[in-house]
Structure 1
Amino acid sequence: MHPASGPAASRGRVTVVGIPARDEESTVGAVARAADAGLHHAFPHGTNVVVLAENGSTDDTVRRFADAPLRSRKLVISSDGPGTGKGTNVFAIMDRALELDADRVLLLDADVRSAEPGWVGLLADAVAGDEPVLAVPAYRRDRFEANTTNHLASPLLAAVFGVHVQQPIGGEFAFNRAFLDLAASWPRPGSAYLYGIDVWLTANALRERVRVVEVPLGRKLHNSPFPKILRLPQQVLDSLFHVVLRTDRVRPPGPVAPAARSAVDGAAVRQDPAVVARVSAAVARYLAAHRDGVRLLFPSADGLRTAPWGLRVTARDWPDVLADALVAVSGGRFAAARDHLVALYVNRVLTFWDEIDGLGGDEIDELLDRQAARTVRAVRSRGVALGGATGPDRFDVGHWAGFNDEPVLSVPG
């Protein structure tokens, strides 16, 4: 990892801030205004463009964006809702940035309630230069959020690529023109058009050994993603596993020890108990239906103890479960490994919430750092061989059909 750096004097002329959105009327206007203020401060003489890319919004998202008083040029890109997702919008922003001959692109999630104008200059400075570079955020989060980051994306990326990234799917990204050109050549599986887009960007950057810069952005407040816990991590894992299988080998840890995490915010809001109960019940039904398949692919989970929410998956258990998943994926069991891991992951999240009860933020950070380090060791001990198996380009909900209360979704790659 590299610290954020790059003088403002090196900035070029065209800057695009893209806001991917669907049904975010309550926050999109404020995000657009923050982006515009940041652009005007950082690039007072540049060509600044704020792009709303939305897919199938049924509320006033487009109108709220259109009514926002901006000094920057405003563009709206709309696509149909069915079979599309966040990645559809991000790819639309990237394609439009190429048409605009942009020097750099920044992405700001439309549901963020803590967006600050200063983020624009910080992210832009981090991607200065002629070589490809990706900037990712580093911010403090509610201890009951960032679950897919903490228990899937971050430890798996560290285990496969030898690089610890605190917020690899944080959403507030930036990249320069060289990165944009490079990314245009990367295969886009169906899940990358959905919530898999963020990890698709970060994992491909690590696979290509592109410089990745972590940019401290303070606190992040946004709408809780927990209600999406049965579909968001499935899409993230799908994209991540696609990139992993295109990697030559499991890489050794970098020469520099990872910095201690500082990601847990002091403020915390527990998730809605009714939503948690509904999710737990769906996962229990799934595990009952797929008991034999889970035991076959995840031998490390065979001895897990029961808990009020289902299974107790501790910080010591979880690294071996993740290693089992990579063994299964590399052995050609892509969809089963992805889907069964989601069920075990939900139990890991609920166990984690129990583990951290009464702990301070620093203690939680240390627990997550230990979990990531153990994952690195567990994966290396398995001798996982990459480069042989492949995954399906088309994304569908697979084994989760009928368990996640979502319509059957199939997205071509």
Structure 2
Amino acid sequence: MANRDRVTVVGIPARDEARTVGLVASAADAGLHRASPDGVNVVVLAENGSTDGTVERFAETPLRARGEVVSSPGVGTGKGTNVFAVMDRALELAADRVLLLDADVRSAEPEWVERLADAVAGAEPVLAVPAYRRDRYEANTTNHLASPLLAAVYGVHVQQPIGGEFAFNRAFLERSRGWPRPESASLYGIDVWLTANALREHVRVVEVPLGRKLHNSPFPKILRLPQQVLDSLFHVVLRTDRVRPAGPGGAGGRSAVDGTSVRQDPEVVSRVSASVVRYLEAHREDVRRLFPSAEGVRSAPWGLRVTSEVWPHVLADALAAVAAGLFEPARDHLVALYVNRVLTFWEEIDGLAGSEVDRLLDRQAAATVRAVRDRGVVLGGGGAGPGRFDVRHWAGFNGEPVTPRCSGALFRA
């Protein structure tokens, strides 16, 4: 195919990102011009209910590519709604390559588009995912949930499986049309839905180095984003034939931790910790039953001290529970334990160099692979996840902040 006939689409999923959407669109446009100067290039803003001028800022941004806006209602929609809208528009345009750039990124560069576009050239289905450096206090859902769980189930270590800056070709786009879409995939579960399905179907996944990523901190979403990610991931896991052996090379050494870091707002951390304490107290017996590996965890100022030694076995407990048909309690209780893992991790890495943090995360992922293997988790039983996803799960646990108090006896008789 001549270069002038190639159609490349960059999709920017957004909701209320007026401050940064113009910068992202400009980087996308410049990158498209470099990657495909004679092709048909389209930048699609997919937004759902923006009220801050996001659409107007995008429309005001000068583009050499064709600019389009696809809008969805705000109620009951999320990031995945916007990504699916980009994918649908790409199919209508008969796009050869589709790239996704998060709208809140402050470090997007034209080179990102070039590298991602080059990575998905060819006729066979391929998914390109980012590999970049992040603030050590960010990427928590990636580091402690998505990456180790995918490694444990599929035997492949993906450094940034929910990074947002993705790319895929037409063959991948066509393949994805047949994948079931749980409701959470229309929310923040979309990224892991793409990556996990690619691994499940043995589609080639390419990691593309993108340097440093700067964007708005996702920590205030820590009680809902990981639940949506886990819901989509567990749906895909239940459609997987078996736990697969680790591929050659093992975890491979990551280089994901940036030298610059900013601690999270202590008031937000306190509020989140208090919510989790209330949740664990309300579900004490069920948590103890589903997560026997957490027996004996000790108390901490934020609640529970869930260490890097314990955490891989907690993840194995979760997968065993999902395989046994306990999808929703495994998902929801794991979120509460995950928050305690994140806050414990922050204590563990205090004073460590970035390379040491990387090695700790590599060891944690490798230990998760071993824990799941040793547990003998059996998949492929034909089970199915819940048909509905309730975004109000944490309602009732998000009251005024209190001093977190969680006894180390929470998981002991």
Deviations 1:279-327 (A, max 9, x none): 0000000001000110010011121000000000000000000000001
Deviations 1:192-227 (A, max 9, x none): 000000000000000000000000000000000000
1:393 equivalenced with 2:372 (yes/no)? no
- State the distance in 1 between where 2:398 and 2:331 align: 15
Aligned twin of 2:411: none
1:288 equivalenced with 2:281 (yes/no)? yes
Q: After TM superposition, where is structure 1 displaced by more than 3 Å over at least 4 residues in a row?
A: 8-12
Aligned twin of 2:233: 240
1:196 equivalenced with 2:189 (yes/no)? yes
SS of alignment partner, residue 178 of structure 2: coil
- State the distance in 1 between where 2:4 and 2:223 align: 41
Aligned twin of 2:338: 345
SS of alignment partner, residue 57 of structure 1: coil
122, 133, 150: which one aligns with 2:126: 133
* 1:393 to partner: Cα distance: 2.4
- Asked whether the 8 Å contact 1:12–1:103 carries over to 2, the reply is no
- Paired residue type of 2:281: A
- State the distance in 2 between where 1:97 and 1:386 align: 34
Aligned twin of 2:222: 229
- Asked whether the 8 Å contact 1:10–1:128 carries over to 2, the reply is no
- Asked whether the 8 Å contact 2:98–2:167 carries over to 1, the reply is yes
SS of alignment partner, residue 256 of structure 2: coil
Aligned twin of 1:300: 293
Unaligned runs of 5+ in 1: 1-7, 406-413
TM-score, length basis structure 2: 0.95
* 1:399 to partner: Cα distance: 5.0
1:261 equivalenced with 2:254 (yes/no)? yes
- State the distance in 2 between where 1:30 and 1:375 align: 39
**Aligned alpha-carbon RMSD (Å):** 1.3
* 1:68 to partner: Cα distance: 0.3
213, 231, 246: which one aligns with 2:206: 213
* 1:258 to partner: Cα distance: 3.1
* 1:358 to partner: Cα distance: 0.2
Range with greater deviation from structure 2 (38-47 or 350-359): 38-47
Deviations 1:233-289 (A, max 9, x none): 000000000000000000000123332010000000000000000000000000010
* 1:72 to partner: Cα distance: 0.5
Aligned twin of 1:377: 370
- Paired residue type of 2:70: I
C-alpha change, 1:293 and 1:12, in structure 2 (3 Å) is farther
C-alpha change, 1:378 and 1:53, in structure 2 (3 Å) is same
- Asked whether the 8 Å contact 1:11–1:125 carries over to 2, the reply is no
Mapping 1:400-411, distance limit 5 Å: 400-404=394-398
SS of alignment partner, residue 47 of structure 2: strand
SS of alignment partner, residue 395 of structure 1: coil
Deviations 1:46-81 (A, max 9, x none): 000000000011111000000000011011011111
149, 157, 161: which one aligns with 2:142: 149
- Paired residue type of 1:233: P
- Paired residue type of 1:170: G
Aligned twin of 2:323: 330
1:173 equivalenced with 2:166 (yes/no)? yes
C-alpha change, 1:268 and 1:119, in structure 2 (3 Å) is same
- Paired residue type of 2:196: A
Tell me the matched-pair count. Answer: 398
Deviations 1:111-146 (A, max 9, x none): 000000011110011001100000000000000000
- Asked whether the 8 Å contact 1:230–1:404 carries over to 2, the reply is no
Aligned twin of 1:67: 60
* 1:12 to partner: Cα distance: 6.0
312, 315, 320: which one aligns with 1:319: 312
- State the distance in 2 between where 1:404 and 1:378 align: 33
TM-score, length basis structure 1: 0.95
* 1:84 to partner: Cα distance: 0.4
